[in-house]
Amino acid sequence: MYKNRTDAAIQPSLVIVYFGGNDSLRPHPSGLGPHVPLHEYVQNMRKIATHLKDLSEKTHIIFLTAPPVNEEQIHEFYSENGDMGRTNEQCREYSDACLELCKEMNIKVVDMWTSIQKNKNWKTTCFLDGIHFTPKASKIILKEILKVIKEADWEPSLHFSLLPTEFGEDSPYDNVMPDGKTTLNVCERSDKIIEWLKLYDDDDEN
């Protein structure tokens, strides 16, 4: 049995929650499978949100909605398995329900269903098999998550570029500069941070 974590001395600063992709499958006649009725899905997400909100005032939450699917690609990859029970319309219904819940509970949310489909040729470039993301799709969602974190009015900010440095003092163990006398504090390598940021601030996905 898990111990109640609400009394822990240290609580998470950020929790990202994703459910809905498998929940949104059509129910199987046998009653088996991962399908979760829409109303039950909303109830479950509400319980998760309530629990996380109770952890700490400093614990922030981001929900991810159900993503879209490429039905044609699913049939191509899984035709031997019969009907997989996945449709993009069902994904939309669960995505919309998540968005509505987040609006009601004042929770930050990334609309994966919409974000993926904004991109040109999303059906052929964002999925490995119609369901699971390619690196391109993962990058799209990462950019959306970083955008939410950067624009949130959280104090302190949790965006990596704004986080304080815990060990910013110079050290004799840092890399030695060409002069052979001084060292380079790796925490001050802002050029590397900017270089990394460019990977997620460009608009080459469309």
Report pLDDT digits (tens) over 22-70.
Answer: 999 988 777 778 899 999 999 999 999 999 999 988 999 999 999 999 9
- 112 CB-near residues (< 8 Å, 6+ apart): 64, 65, 66, 67, 68, 95, 141, 144
Count of domains forming the chain: 2
**29: left (phi > 0), else alpha (psi -120 to 50), else beta?**
alpha
Task: Let me know whether 44 and 122 are in one domain.
Answer: yes
Strand order in the sheet with 60-64: 14-18, 60-64, 108-110
Mean of per-residue pLDDT scores for the chain? 85
Judged by average pLDDT, the poorest of 42-51, 59-68, 93-102, 177-186 is 177-186
Say if 139 falls within a structural domain: yes
pLDDT exceeds 70 at position 3: no
CATH number of residue 73's parent domain: 3.40.50.1110
pLDDT exceeds 60 at position 192: no
Task: Let me know whether 64 and 21 are in one domain.
Answer: yes
Q: What are phi and psi of 202, to 5 degrees?
A: -85, 175
Q: Which domain holds residue 194?
A: 165-206
Strands 183-184 and 175-176: antiparallel
Say if 136 falls within a structural domain: yes
Cα distance between residue 172 and residue 88, in whole Å: 57
The arithmetic mean of pLDDT across residues 161-179, rounded, is 71
- 176 CB-near residues (< 8 Å, 6+ apart): 182, 183, 184
pLDDT value at residue 108: 98
Say if 6 falls within a structural domain: no
